[in-house]
Structure 1
């Protein structure tokens, strides 16, 4: 999938990928509609970090989830 251009469908794809990879217990609380396309690049950066990592420590997961929380509308 080409994620280089901001779109709602790309945003939804990345959020779902992040939730799946992080195995988030509160995944239902993080909906793609909670994020603005204005923050697309920031979310894309987080997506790349998550997808490129084979394993993330608990501290890394917490930091990423915290960052996502700050990016919500």
Structure 2
């Protein structure tokens, strides 16, 4: 999959990958539709880091989940 192009499908793929690899129990916190394409590059950086690193410590998982929370669309 070519993730170099910012589009909805790629964003959804990365969010789902991160949710799986970060072992997020409450998947509602990482619903792909809650993330805006304007943050594509930042989310891609986190995706690349998690993919490259493989195994993350508990504190690293918490940090990534916290950082991803900053890119969620505001609740209306």
TM-score (norm. length: structure 2):
0.90
Whose helix proportion is higher, 1 or 2?
1
Unaligned runs of 5+ in 2: none
Distance in 2 of aligned mates of 1:63 and 1:29: 14
Q: How big is the alpha-carbon RMSD for the aligned residues of Structure 1 and Structure 2?
A: 0.8
* SS, match of residue 56 in structure 1: coil
Question: Which contiguous aligned blocks of 4+ residues in structure 1 show a shift greater than 6 angstroms?
Answer: none
* SS, match of residue 52 in structure 1: helix
TM-score (norm. length: structure 1):
0.94
